[in-house]
Copies of this chain bind each other. A is one copy, B any other.
Amino acid sequence: MTGYPTSIGSSDESTITLLGKNLADELMGQVGFGELAFWLVAMRRPTPGELRVFESVLVALADHGLTPSAIAARLTLTGAPESVQGALAAGLLGGGSRFLGVTEDAGRFLADALAGHQEVGNELPTTDDGWDNLARAAVRAQKEAGRLVPGLGHPVHKNGDPRTPALLRIADEEGLRGPHLRLFEAVGRVHPELLGRTLPLNGAGVCGAALCDLGFHGDILRGFALLARAAGLVGHLAEEMRRPIGTAVYNEVHHATEYQPPSG
């Protein structure tokens, strides 16, 4: 029989173990929820500074109003009010490449650029000029491959996403403005000369950079973005229960439908 190793949790008749600790005695009442979320992935407890940056990321990504994801969750509750889990799942399923994917893409782009730089024996830069050079190389490579630079641009916050300077400041206060954030800032400085236009560093991107500086791998970044969004969606579902809009959205769409029979 195969054994299935896990380091997350287990239980026996009298004890529940989570992350190697006694859940009831050592975690409940002593560990915050954000702290636990960090620990569950990193497999180590965050320092207070790491926790502050991490929770800032989760707070930054929790909600963005009546997004496609929030509308889908609310419409799903309209049809299946008995299944809160279905409505939450429907909302999360919209967290794919186009929206939440930016956090992951930006983190990966920065991590790959840093890894490529260090693989060939280079030290990390120590000056803004040094970071700018590294950023230029990364942006140029991305452009030459015909790919967008992730983390640049925002459909609403065209002149700057307010989350970006806020997170940079918080990371700096905690001594956690590390190489991914520094490279991201440098991308913000150098991209206009290479791309021919000036785009804001967006919030999803800076969150990806900050999570990488906290030591997380690109593969799991979308997981954190989804966890943050889950809190926002629970808020939307609670509001939908108190003051529903799902039926009104459906009616609006229904009445604006223009039926065009197929020609076939």
Contacts and interface: CB of A to CB of B under 8 A. Distances in A.
A189 interface: no
A142 interface: no
Interface in A137-165: 156-160, 162-163, 165
A112 interface: no
Contacts of A261: 7, 17, 19-20
B78 A85 contact: no
A90 B88 contact: no
Q: What's the number of copies of this chain in the assembled complex?
A: 4
Contacts of A88: 92, 223, 226
Contacts of A124: none
Contact of A86 (B86, B220, B247): B86
Contact of A85 (B100, B157, B159): B100
16 contacts: A5-B257, A6-B258, A7-B239, A8-B235, A17-B261, A18-B63, A28-B170, A32-B33, A32-B34, A66-B257, A71-B72, A71-B250, A80-B85, A80-B93, A89-B93, A227-B234
